[in-house]
Structures are given as structure tokens and as C-alpha cells.
Amino acid sequence: MFTERYLQSAKKDMRSINLCMDIPNFPAWDWRVNQMKLAELVNREREAEQVITRLDLRLHEVRSELKSTLGKERITIMQVNHRAIGIQGTCDHPLNEMLYSKLKFTPGNPVPDHMWRIEMAPELMPCLETDRLFIQQHNLRAGSDKIFTRLQETPSWKAMDVVKNNRAQLIPNWFLMSWTPAGRDHILDSLLSLHHGSAI
């Protein structure tokens, strides 16, 4: 997906060469808008609206079901890439919006409240105060496994209750999945599996 900054820069470049084309101005992190724009391209707006409505209803149902388990826990999402670790914030990304706004999960500490993510070297990660830690290793070929190994060797990692209690677990790429209805359904299925005591 284009970031807002890249898109604005591209629009400026296009204006300077005076091409006759319209570059869409998507809100960068709104998966619904992007979904509807894609549906427009294939004349399936009504179907897309129905899918989004059905997913909103399912989110509400799942939130009610998870209240007694995950709904009472502090949740933190981490992505490990080949350069750093990233702790997801509560806003400005479809995954953040889904977990913290729609499902009403309580963020762990230090989950940023007004940012989509903070990144740091593994050695700089503070001891996280969270009941569950979901970790995605992004781009293993580029070396994210080395960063994850460095993280696991830090005093902070070894001191965290979430690690001692075996509640830090690897997840598939929820970051990418959160952009589509099918992906969001998959995330909900995974959370329900945890709720029922199964593995993701």
C-alpha cells in the first residue's frame, strides 16, 4: 500500500509533468476505503458493502464472546524485522484499530497511545507489562530471526512475566491480513481459538 507521504509526493511529481490523470486520495490507513475503491474498479461496491457490514457484526459478536478471557487481559503486538522490533500502537493501522477500538482490548505498557508504532533496537526494549504478547517475524530472509534472537537474549525479555508464563507467541502476518475482510476473519478465528484454549 502507498503511504500518505509517498502518495502526496507522487501527486506533486505528476502535476509537475502535467499528465491528464487523477490519482486517488485514499486515507492511507483506512482499509474500508481501500476495499471500496478496489470494489469500484470491478463494479462490486454493493457486495463489498455487504461484506464490510457482515464483518462489523461479527466483530461485535466476537468482542462479546472474548470479554471473559482476552477482553480482561493486556494485549501487545510486536513485529520483528531485520532492523528492529516494533511495538504496535492503538491507532492509525487496520490491525491496531481492530484490536483496540473494535474488540476493545486493553493495551499493554508501553503500547503507544497516539502513534501507529514505535521501533527500537532489541537491546533498548523495556520490560513489557502485558498479559499476552503476539509476535510476527517479518521477512525472515532479510534476517529478522537474528533480531529476534538478540531480543530473546536481553535481560528485559528474560524478566517479562508474559515470557515466563509462556504467553508470548508467534503469529502469522496479521499486519497484512488486517487490510482485507478475509484476513480480518482469519484473525478473529485465531483469537476465538485462543479463547477456547487452542493454539493459533
pLDDT in tens, 84-140: 999 999 999 999 999 999 999 999 999 999 899 999 999 999 999 999 999 999 887
- Alpha helices by DSSP H, listed for the chain, are 4-16, 31-41, 45-66, 94-96, 144-152, 155-159, 161-164, 174-177, 181-195
Q: Give me the pLDDT at residue 8, please.
A: 52
Domains and CATH numbers, the chain: 64-195 (3.40.50.1980)
Query: What does the longest C-alpha to C-alpha distance in the chain come to?
Result: 60
Instruction: Show Cβ contacts of residue 84 under 8 Å, excluding neighbours closer than 6 positions.
Output: 119, 120, 121, 122, 147
Q: What does the DSSP 8-state code read for residue 127?
A: -
Pairing of strands 132-137, 85-88: unpaired
pLDDT by position in tens, the chain (length 200): 444 444 455 445 444 434 333 434 445 678 989 889 988 999 999 999 999 999 999 999 999 999 989 999 999 999 999 999 999 999 999 999 999 999 999 999 999 998 999 999 999 999 999 999 999 998 878 889 999 999 999 999 999 999 999 999 999 999 999 999 999 999 999 999 998 888 77
Q: Give me the pLDDT at residue 137, please.
A: 94
pTM confidence score: 0.81
Contact 13, 7 (CB under 8 A): no
